[in-house]
Amino acid sequence: MSYFRAENLSLRFGGLKAVDAVSFAVEKGEILSIIGPNGAGKSSIFNLISRIYRPTSGRIFFEDQDITEEPPYDIARLGIARTFQNIELFENATVLSNLLVGRHRHSTTQLWQELLFLPSVRANEKVHRRRVEQVIEFLDLEAYRDKPISGLPYGVRKVIELARALCSEPKLILLDEPSSGLNVEETDDMSFWIRDMRRELGVTVLMVEHDMSLVNRVSDRVIALNYGRVLAMGSPAEVQQHPDVVAAYLGA
């Protein structure tokens, strides 16, 4: 059985089929990219997985468990973290507290314990803090630790979103256009991090990406979508030479 599986996933907005009977599987430890022209349904698939949308039909399985009906907040608890295409950070909080929210799925303390800040809460906080520090070191964010998000440049925010997702110690991470808005060097850094993430943290990566050079460098397999349907699936080179994919991008 595959690690993560989507079966016949469909999403309709009225008459529009945003996602149309899409099936794919992700193996453990794999980096799988989803490509496709604008409006192909890439981000919709992510939103279906993280339960922001409810699929019209189809099933989603993670570690052999059907997660189609799980509430959105439980998706993170199962070990699936995500980033957003248009950065969704907690604007008025510091980088540190943003990352600590990423630790939310590991918090075990009760409200009354927190009101009194019992030793157990304090001990937990230190554990969270240590994990966050590891991620900060991993992504070179030391300089921004105590800065509020609202003053940070776009490129840094993008990395912080990745950091927040990593703080939850995910098994599967969904990256929605990790390189959009980044310059060439930042994109390079991103590609190293994505590979390191798999190697050092054992995270499986599913990503939506437009930058083909990044896709070629990091992906094991690529899925091409258009009009909500799967056009091609396979290695980056295979998919890019597939006649349907060429037609979709060039209109030929």
Q: Which residues bind other proteins (CB under 8 A)?
A: 47, 50, 52, 71-77, 81-82, 84-93, 96-97, 100-105, 107, 109, 111, 114-117, 121-122, 125-126, 129-130, 133, 150-151, 154, 157, 164, 168
Q: How far is the CB of 11 from other proteins (least distance, A)?
A: 13
Comparison of 153 and 251: residue with beta carbon closer to other proteins = 153
Q: How far is the CB of 117 from other proteins (least distance, A)?
A: 4
Sorted by sequence, the CB contacts under 8 Å of residue 116 that are 6+ apart come out as none
Residue pair 239/59 in contact (Cβ under 8 Å)? The answer is no
Comparison of 53 and 249: residue with beta carbon closer to other proteins = 53
Comparison of 52 and 201: residue with beta carbon closer to other proteins = 52
Q: How far is the CB of 91 from other proteins (least distance, A)?
A: 5
Comparison of 35 and 167: residue with beta carbon closer to other proteins = 167
SS3 (DSSP) at 159: helix
Q: How far is the CB of 89 from other proteins (least distance, A)?
A: 7
Residues 176, 131: Cα–Cα separation, whole Å: 24
Q: How far is the CB of 126 from other proteins (least distance, A)?
A: 5
Residues 19, 187: Cα–Cα separation, whole Å: 28
Comparison of 146 and 250: residue with beta carbon closer to other proteins = 146
Rounded-to-10 torsion of CA 124, 130, 134, 135: 50
Structure tokens given for 206: 């599913």
Sorted by sequence, the CB contacts under 8 Å of residue 170 that are 6+ apart come out as 76, 79, 80, 81, 203
Residues 190, 249: Cα–Cα separation, whole Å: 25
